[in-house]
Amino acid sequence: MDFSDKQATHLLEQAILIAEDLRQDPSVLAVILSGPLALGKAPANDKLYFVIITDKDDGIIEHHFLNDGWGDVRHPVEMGKFPLVVATFLAEHGYSDMVSYKSLEAFRCGHVLWEKEKIGTNLIEASKKHIPAAVFIGESLHGAVSALDDAVAMYKNEDYKNAVLMAREAAIKAVDMVIRDKIQDEDFSLIEAAEKYLAPEDFSLFLQILDIEEVDESRALESARIAGEFARFTLREIGVNPEQVLDIKDRKL
Amino acid sequence: MQYTREQEFLRQKFLAEATELVAGLERDPNILAAFLTGSAAWGKPNPDGDLDILLITENNQGVFYRYLIPKFCRTPRRAEFGFIPLAVVLEKIERAYGDPLSCSAIEQFKNGKILFQKEDRGDRIIRACRDVVPGKLMIGRNINMVRGLMESLRRALELKQYRNVLLFSRKIMSLSARLLLLVRERLGVAKEKQEFRAINRIFGKIECGQYETVMAVKSIDREKSYLTLLKTMTLLGNILSQKAVSDRIVSYNGFQR
């Protein structure tokens, strides 16, 4: 881990405090820091992610969202608690769905803060054969995958138009994930960034999926006109005067 | 909603399984109510689907989830138990449709099936969620987003970036539909699929036609839909392979022409 930046160092100190507290629980076998911080990054407003390995025999994975922090540490925390038997099974057999993928990804990014008998270290090592590179993309990947699952379900229900709309959402989420890996700036043009960061054949597929491969001026103007009308209609319907909301320049739309 | 005999059978099966799974939790004084949510409670359940259960807790120890996996636990299928403190539920109801998370929580409770409850807590939560009045709707943020998108649309037009014009137009249509749903039906939409399914209900024939024109789905039939899904699977597969992720995380069960 490279903790050259001040924010990352501060967060790591907080994480160590939490780990110190967690290890007091006799059922805890390892405390592993995960997420961007374990990869040496400290994005603003991000949470502290932990993987806790326990000796419990109930087979239940627990996922805690602690927005107010843990103990004296007032920083949002997300914590996955895995019985050793479940964690070992995942590390041996790999992933088959999003839950198992996200679990293994959390192990793979991990940095052991405390452990008994190298349990955490062995787990991280074993996860490498399933997830070669340490990345933390599970959350955004989940969005794309579940949108595509929804699209397939709609298609099977003969809801063909909505299946296409959902498939496009899945494509946008997947491409967005690629772009965000490359640029941190929130304000980017999807199409230009996609052209820059996708392989040419993938960019072409993306345009086809969105049905914007060939867009001439008249189609664009027609869409803009309808969208402008819709926005005005909606605002009026909800009791808001469009003139007060939309800029005067938009009136031509 | 009308269910086929098979769907009704599945719903009853899911309900019975969920009731059995939460039976022991009723004795826990910290748990005030249990709800079955998701498609098993109100939609068309997927035979291979999970059980989604929300439990309301008295203590405010943060939100957490427990995943029960058949291989390791005594459960007939994968089950997700969400433990939500009562204080958090009340806060979400108070915030109403102000943010997507509250939207999602309110919709889950509104349509959930009570598995057990103490002192009418479950009924009271469902009533409170159904009573969220339009006056409490926080639509300012959405209106601001419409304004921002209109500005982006105008810029894209000036720069003759026609692809961006189409994408911004689609976003405006989408957001407008969500605003209308919110105000007319008090329905907060957290997911795109809910929005798409509601369009035919909230719009008249002309508006639906316009929506389909901008979204470019007017001429979509089975074949075109199939091809778009296939292309999306290819694109996602390519992206996954660049990230060294196997595409077995996506279930295409039963997808065929």
For residues B198-227, give the mean pLDDT: 91
Q: What is the spatial distance between Cα A249 and Cα A247, in angstroms, rounded to a whole number?
A: 5
Give the nearest chain A residue to B147 (CA atoms): A246
More confident residue, B191 or B58: B58
B221 vs A contacts (CB less than 8 Å) = 160
Residue showing tokens 């992933």? A95
Give me the pLDDT at residue B251, please.
67
A246 vs B contacts (CB less than 8 Å) = 146-147, 150
Pair A178, B239: CB distance under 8 Å = yes
By the CB < 8 Å criterion, does A170 face chain B? yes
Give the nearest chain A residue to B65 (CA atoms): A63
Give me the pLDDT at residue B253, please.
64
Give the nearest chain B residue to A128 (CA atoms): B244
Encoded tokens for A213: 């491969």
By the CB < 8 Å criterion, does A131 face chain B? yes
Mutation target vs B (from A67, A92, A162, A195; most B CBs, 10 A cutoff)? A162
**Per-residue pLDDT band at B7 (split at 50, 70, 90):** confident
Pair B94, B66: CB distance under 8 Å = no
What is the arrangement of strands in the sheet containing B63-68, beginning at the earlier edge strand? A111-115, A28-34, A48-54, A77-83, A61-66, B63-68, B79-85, B51-57, B31-37, B113-117
B71 vs A contacts (CB less than 8 Å) = 59, 89
Share of chain A above pLDDT 70, in %: 94
In this structure, what is the dihedral angle of CA atoms B206, B209, B215, B219, given to the nearest 10 degrees?
180
The rounded radius of gyration (Å) of the Cα atoms in chain A is 23
Inter-chain touch A211–B164, beta carbons under 8 Å? no
Provide the chain A residues 2-21 that lie in CB contact (below 8 A) with chain B: none
Share of chain B above pLDDT 70, in %: 93
Give me the pLDDT at residue A249, please.
53
Encoded tokens for B249: 């995380």
More confident residue, A187 or B224: B224
Query: What are the pLDDT digits (tens) for B144-201?
Result: 888 899 999 999 999 999 999 999 999 999 999 988 888 887 777 778 888 888 888 8
A228 vs B contacts (CB less than 8 Å) = 150, 153, 172
By the CB < 8 Å criterion, does A158 face chain B? yes
Burial (CB < 10 A; 0-12, 13-18, 19+), residue A133, is: exposed
**Per-residue pLDDT band at B85 (split at 50, 70, 90):** very high
Give me the pLDDT at residue B204, please.
85
Q: How crowded is residue A118: how many other Cβ atoms within 10 Å of its Cβ?
A: 12
Inter-chain touch B166–A215, beta carbons under 8 Å? yes
More confident residue, B209 or B194: B209
For residues A39-66, give the mean pLDDT: 89
- Report chain A's mean pLDDT, rounded to a whole number: 89
Give me the pLDDT at residue A44, please.
67
Give me the pLDDT at residue B136, please.
60
Q: What is the spatial distance between Cα A150 and Cα A162, in angstroms, rounded to a whole number?
A: 10
Q: Which residues of B55-85 are buried (b: 16+ CB within 10 A; e: fewer)?
A: bbbeeeebbbbbbbbeebbebebbbbbbbbb
Give me the pLDDT at residue B163, please.
95
CA A73 from chain centre, in angstroms, equals 24
Tell me which residue of A160, A163, A168 sits closest to A150, measured CA to CA.
A163
Query: What are the pLDDT digits (tens) for A61-99?
Result: 999 999 889 988 889 999 999 999 999 999 999 998 888
Give me the pLDDT at residue B2, please.
66
Give me the pLDDT at residue A147, please.
92
Asked whether residue A251 carries a pLDDT value surpassing 60, the answer given is: no
More confident residue, B31 or A182: B31
More confident residue, B248 or B9: B9
For residues B2-17, give the mean pLDDT: 86
Q: What is the spatial distance between Cα A203 and Cα A32, in angstroms, rounded to a whole number?
A: 38
ipTM of the complex: 0.83
Inter-chain touch B153–A137, beta carbons under 8 Å? no
Query: What are the pLDDT digits (tens) for B93-132?
Result: 887 776 667 777 888 888 889 999 999 999 999 988 888 7
Q: How far is CA A251 from CA A229, A243, B87, B141, in A?
A: 10, 8, 45, 21
Share of chain B above pLDDT 90, in %: 47
Give me the pLDDT at residue B133, please.
63
Q: Is the pTM of this model over 0.95?
A: no
Highest mean pLDDT among A3-12, A186-195, B143-152, B159-168: B159-168
For Cα atoms A44, B191, A229, give the angle at the middle one, nearest 5 degrees. 100
Give me the pLDDT at residue A17, please.
95
